[in-house]
Amino acid sequence: MSSAVVIGASGGIGAAFVRALEDEGTFGTVHAFARSFSGAGHLDLEDEASIAAAAAIVAKGPAPTLILVATGLLHEGERGPEKAIADLDPVWLARNFAINAIGPAIVAKHFLPLMPRDGRCVFGVLSARVGSIADNRLGGWYGYRASKAALNMLVRTLAIEEKRRNGRSIVVALHPGTVDTPLSRPFQGNVAPGQLFEADRAALQLLDVIDGLKAPDSGKLFAWDGAEVSP
């Protein structure tokens, strides 16, 4: 049997992914990694050595056919998404890119080569609809929007390279909708009724989307309902 990997497994959606995958019993092993975990489960997106160490554990087998990067940064401490250009701060912008774009890219560097060279396999990362350039009608949220847009481009580029290694591989960005987690909690006031999802539901919805993906879908961004989101 193959294995599954969840990175960001201490977060709301990441932990729900782990529960769902273990309940389904499809995979022989479900690896769970997070910055807050100690020992073998520790993985810090800003520490490439810890990413490489986690990948070395997974490399012992069985090979992973599903890898999910369920990480993201929207606010931290007193810092939050910028409302206007006057709020731009280079340190906060860099922090957004480090967690939302660079970290997942380095995860791909170490984990994608562990996936089989043939057969269907999926590498999925949590992105966001607000990272869509075409869908940006409100402005604001500079760092989060830009870093998620960068992530979407990284996914597209990774998909092209990975297709050369395995023609049936799928590298995809996933928009979970608004999920009742600490990441979204300060911004839930404007969510339409019925559009705020519990983490377990959000995870199952995304796993259903993943189940329906085909090789030509690689490199794209899909929402929780299976709809493709324009880049």
**Percent of the chain surpassing pLDDT 70:** 100
Strand partners, 180: none
Band of the pLDDT at 230, cuts 50, 70, 90? Answer: very high
Give the SS3 label for residue 40: helix
Query: CA separation (Å) from 12 to 24, 41, 196, 201, 202?
Result: 18, 17, 13, 11, 10
- The whole-number pLDDT of residue 13 equals 97
| Residue 147 and residue 96 in contact, taking contact as beta carbons nearer than 8 Å | yes
Q: What ranges in the chain are assigned the alpha helix state H? A: 12-24, 48-58, 90-97, 103-111, 142-165, 199-211
Q: Please state, in angstroms and rounded to a whole number, the distance separating the CA atoms of residues 141 and 74.
A: 9
Q: What is the pLDDT of residues 14-69, one digit of tens each?
A: 999 999 999 999 999 999 999 999 999 999 999 999 999 999 999 999 999 999 99
What mean pLDDT is predicted for residues 86-104?
Answer: 98
CATH number at residue 148: 3.40.50.720
Query: In total, how many domains does the chain have?
Result: 1
- The whole-number pLDDT of residue 93 equals 98
- The whole-number pLDDT of residue 231 equals 83
For residue 193, is pLDDT > 80? no
**Percent of the chain surpassing pLDDT 90:** 91
Query: CA separation (Å) from 184 to 54, 61, 150, 189, 191?
Result: 28, 35, 20, 10, 10
What mean pLDDT is predicted for residues 66-86?
Answer: 96
Query: CA separation (Å) from 114 to 60, 62, 63, 160, 227?
Result: 10, 10, 6, 17, 29
- Closest by CA to 44, choosing from 5, 94, 98, is 98
Q: What is the pLDDT of residues 126-169, one digit of tens each?
A: 999 999 999 999 999 999 999 999 999 999 999 999 999 999 99
- The whole-number pLDDT of residue 182 equals 85
Measure CA 216 to chain center.
19
- The whole-number pLDDT of residue 195 equals 83
pLDDT, mean over the chain: 96
Strand partners, 30: 4
For residue 76, is pLDDT > 80? yes
Q: What is the pTM of this model?
A: 0.95
Query: Domain span at residue 88?
Result: 3-229
| Residue 156 and residue 108 in contact, taking contact as beta carbons nearer than 8 Å | no
- The whole-number pLDDT of residue 191 equals 78
- The whole-number pLDDT of residue 197 equals 93
Q: Which residue has the tokens 């979407």?
A: 152
**CB atoms closer than 10 angstroms to residue 225:** 10
**CB atoms closer than 10 angstroms to residue 125:** 30
